[in-house]
C-alpha cells in the first residue's frame, strides 16, 4: 500500500481530531468529528474508478457520517445514541454486502466454516461483559454485536477468493472496527475511562481508512488486472 497524497486531508483532520480529544478541547473535537468521514468520502471518489461497488461503499460512508454526527449529541439524549447505533448498524450491513461481492471468484455465497468460530466466540464474550449494564439497550446491542461479527466474518471469507493485498487491508479494517466498537461498548455500559474516547476514535479512523483502501485496491485490480 502506497500513500496517496489525496488522502492528506483525512489524515490531517484525524490527527487534529485526536489531538483535540487528548487535550480535552471539546468544541474542537465536535467541530472536526463530522468532517472526518466526508474527507475520506472525497478521497475515495477522487481516486477510485467507477464500479458497481462504489455506490455501496459511498452509502456505508454516508451512514458512518450520520453515526458520527448523531453520537456527538448522545450525552444529552439516549435517543441520539440509539440513532447513531442504527446508522453504524446500516453501515456494517453495507460493508458486509460489499465483502461478499468484492471477490474474484464466481462463488459468492455465505457458507459457515470453522474459521468463523473465533469471531462468534469473541462477540459472545464481549456481549457477556457489557450485558449487565445494557438495560433497555439489550436488543439493539445484541443485534449490533451479531452484525459487526458477521461483517468481520465476511471479510475473513475473502481469503483466497481475491488478491492478498485487498484481503489483508479489509481484514485489518474489519478487526479494528470490532475493537473500536468493543471499546465503545465497554466505555459506555461498563466503566468510563479517560483514554476511552481517543482509543475509540483512533481505532475507528484506522478501520475506516483500511476498509476504504482495501476496497479501492480491489476495484483498481479488477479494472487493471496487470497492476502491481
Cα angle 17, 196, 206 (rounded to 5 degrees) comes to 50
Cβ-Cβ contacts under 8 Å for 193 (sequence gap 6 or more): 187
**DSSP code at position 75:** T
Q: What is the pLDDT of residue 5?
A: 87
Q: Which 3 state secondary structure label does DSSP give 207?
A: helix
Helices 196-223, 54-72: axis angle to 10 degrees equals 170
Q: What is the pLDDT of residue 193?
A: 84
Contact (CB, 8 A) for 46 and 54: no
**Separation of CA 7 from chain center:** 17
Concatenated DSSP letters of 160-181? TTS-HHHHHHHHHHHHHHHHHH
The residue written with cell numbers 468520502 in the block is 41
Tens digits of pLDDT across the chain (228 residues): 677 889 999 999 999 999 999 999 989 999 999 999 999 999 999 999 999 999 999 999 999 999 999 998 877 778 899 999 999 999 999 999 999 998 887 665 667 787 889 999 999 999 999 999 998 889 999 999 999 999 999 999 999 889 999 999 999 999 999 999 999 999 989 988 888 899 999 999 999 999 999 999 999 998 777 655
Cell digits for 27?
468544541
Nearest to 42 by CA among 86, 7, 68, 83: 7
| Spatial separation of the C-alpha atoms in residues 173 and 211, rounded to whole Å | 5
Cα angle 144, 169, 157 (rounded to 5 degrees) comes to 60
Q: What is the pLDDT of residue 3?
A: 77
| Spatial separation of the C-alpha atoms in residues 3 and 7, rounded to whole Å | 8
**DSSP code at position 102:** S
Contact (CB, 8 A) for 178 and 143: no
**Separation of CA 228 from chain center:** 26
Q: What is the pLDDT of residue 121?
A: 96
Is this model's pTM higher than 0.75 or not? yes
Half-sphere exposure in the Cβ direction for 90 (13 Å, CA): 17
Q: What is the largest CA-CA distance in the chain?
A: 54
Domain coordinates in residue numbering, the chain? 5-106+115-223
Amino acid at each position: 500500500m502506497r500513500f496517496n497524497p489525496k488522502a492528506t486531508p483525512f489524515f490531517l483532520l484525524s490527527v487534529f481530531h485526536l489531538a483535540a480529544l487528548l487535550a480535552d478541547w471539546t468544541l474542537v473535537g465536535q467541530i472536526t468529528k463530522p468532517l472526518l468521514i466526508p474527507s475520506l468520502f472525497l478521497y475515495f471518489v477522487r481516486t477510485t474508478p467507477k464500479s458497481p461497488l462504489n455506490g455501496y461503499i459511498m452509502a456505508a460512508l454516508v451512514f458512518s457520517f450520520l453515526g458520527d454526527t448523531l453520537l456527538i449529541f448522545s450525552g444529552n439524549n439516549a435517543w441520539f445514541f440509539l440513532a447513531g447505533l442504527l446508522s453504524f448498524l446500516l453501515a456494517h450491513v453495507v460493508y458486509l454486502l460489499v465483502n461478499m461481492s468484492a471477490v474474484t471468484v464466481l462463488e459468492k455465497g455465505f457458507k459457515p466454516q470453522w474459521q468463523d468460530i473465533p469471531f462468534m466466540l469473541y462477540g459472545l464474550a464481549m456481549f457477556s461483559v457489557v450485558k449487565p449494564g445494557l438495560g433497555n439497550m439489550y436488543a439493539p446491542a445484541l443485534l449490533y454485536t451479531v452484525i459487526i461479527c458477521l461483517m468481520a466474518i465476511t471479510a475473513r471469507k475473502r481469503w483466497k477468493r481475491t488478491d492478498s493485498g485487498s484481503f489483508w487491508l479489509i481484514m485489518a479494517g474489519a478487526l479494528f472496527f470490532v475493537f473500536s466498537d468493543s471499546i465503545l461498548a465497554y466505555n459506555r455500559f461498563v466503566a468510563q475511562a479517560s483514554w476511552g474516547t481517543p482509543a475509540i476514535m483512533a481505532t475507528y479512523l484506522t478501520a475506516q481508512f483500511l476498509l476504504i483502501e482495501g476496497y479501492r485496491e480491489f476495484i483498481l485490480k479488477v479494472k487493471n488486472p496487470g497492476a502491481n
